[in-house]
């Protein structure tokens, strides 16, 4: 039988080295090829740590254990992490692309944006003509003026930097996009543009997406499945069904809160879902 999985996470735990505080607690889940997985969690529940652990960019103050396996195709696999051994030598190339929540951390503050975009594309072995065309594609798809190429990151707004980071990830056409609240710094119009760009990439390139957010509306619009975390633990993992009426489902409870008060922020208190 052909393997349809692209990412498998098994018994993944992450602790703080100094305090031994558990950040992620024995997470196990798998992602199908071309699946859009929404990781729903309130602030401080470990969703950013999960994404950074998969990408092998966690701070040295954290210690991880468990198994993370990436399947670049139906026949091969790359072990990203095995038990407590992170395989930094495993080549993931541009097949996996990370979009941070705060794009200002992704760019060099003393280098102009155009230079940084070209350097990234050069490192990914694109030719000069390809680089020129791809940067133009980025600007057009993100509705950005060409003038930003001659500016430094500190001269641009947070929303503009976020669109640059997202546009760069999209033009690379990776097999997997790992995105940490990528639209949180954007206005409504640009947020819709980005979400639709993700959907186009899913259709055209069979891209897989892992999207961390606290907004159930984004997950319902974009994703096939949802993984709900609380205090580093998996609370729920199921397919998206906006017609679901199961009163025990956290996704159903989140939709009711969102529909009732329009709040996209939520938290768990004494085991109960409440808005905040």
Three-state SS annotation for the chain: CCCCEEEEEEEEEEEECCCCCEEEEEEEEEEECCCEEEEECCCCCCHHHHHHHHHCCCCCCEEEEEEEEECCCCCCCEEEEECCEECCCCCCHHHEEEECCCHHHHCCCCCCHHHHHHHHHHHCCCCHHHHHHHHHHHHHHCCCCHHHHHCCHHHCCHHHHHHHHHHHHHHCCCCEEEEECCCCCCCHHHHHHHHHHHHHHHHHHCCEEEEEECCHHHHHHHCCEEEEEECCEEEEEEECCCCCCCCCCHHHHHHHHHHHHCCCCEEEECCEEEEC
pLDDT at 102: 87
| Predicted pLDDT of residue 261 | 58
Residue 82 has a pLDDT of 83
Average the pLDDT over each of 39-48, 172-181, 235-244, 261-270 and give the range with the smallest value: 261-270
pLDDT bracket for residue 271 (50, 70, 90) = low
Alpha carbons 217 and 213: distance in angstroms, whole number: 10
* Cβ(181)–Cβ(8) below 8 Å: no
Please give the average per-residue pLDDT across 181-192, as a whole number: 88
CB-CB contact of 83 with 12 (8 Å): no
> What pTM does this model have?
0.88
- Average pLDDT, whole number, for the chain? 87
The stretch 122-146 carries a mean pLDDT of 93
> Please, which pLDDT band fits residue 272 given cuts at 50, 70 and 90?
low
Stretch 233-257: mean pLDDT, rounded? 85
pLDDT value of residue 273: 53
Provide the residue range defining the domain that includes 237: 5-275
Residue 266: is its pLDDT beyond 50? no
Which CATH number does the domain housing residue 196 bear?
A: 3.40.50.300
For Cα atoms 236, 240, 245, give the angle at the middle one, nearest 5 degrees.
80
pLDDT at 58 over 60: yes
Count up the domains in the chain and report the number. 1
Query: What pLDDT is attached to residue 226?
Result: 95
Distance CA 59, CA 107 (A): 18
Return the higher-pLDDT residue of 238 and 260: 238
Confidence of residue 180 (pLDDT cuts 50, 70, 90): very high
């Amino acid at each position: 039988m052909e393997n349809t999985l692209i990412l498998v996470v098994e018994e993944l735990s992450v602790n703080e080295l100094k305090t031994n505080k558990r950040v992620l607690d024995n997470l196990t889940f798998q992602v199908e090829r071309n699946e859009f997985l929404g990781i729903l969690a309130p602030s401080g529940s470990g969703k950013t740590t999960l994404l950074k652990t998969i990408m092998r960019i966690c701070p040295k103050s954290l210690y991880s254990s468990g198994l993370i396996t990436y399947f670049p195709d139906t026949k091969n696999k790359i072990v990203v992490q095995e038990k407590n051994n992170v395989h930094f030598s495993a080549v993931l190339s541009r097949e996996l692309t990370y979009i941070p929540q705060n794009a200002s951390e992704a760019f060099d503050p003393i280098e102009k944006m155009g230079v940084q975009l070209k350097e990234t594309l050069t490192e990914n072995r694109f030719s000069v003509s390809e680089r020129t065309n791809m940067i133009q594609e980025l600007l057009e798809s993100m509705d950005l003026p060409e003038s930003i190429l001659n500016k430094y990151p500190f001269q641009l707004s947070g929303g503009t930097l976020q669109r640059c980071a997202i546009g760069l990830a999209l033009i690379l056409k990776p097999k997997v996009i790992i995105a940490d609240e990528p639209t949180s710094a954007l206005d409504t119009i640009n947020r819709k543009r980005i979400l639709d760009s993700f959907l186009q990439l899913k259709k055209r390139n069979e891209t897989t997406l892992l999207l961390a957010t606290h907004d159930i509306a984004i997950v319902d619009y974009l994703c096939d499945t949802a993984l709900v975390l609380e205090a580093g633990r998996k609370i729920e993992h199921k397919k998206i069904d906006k017609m679901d009426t199961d009163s025990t489902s956290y996704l159903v409870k989140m939709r009711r809160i969102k529909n009732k008060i329009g709040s996209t922020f939520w938290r768990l208190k004494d085991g109960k879902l409440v808005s905040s």
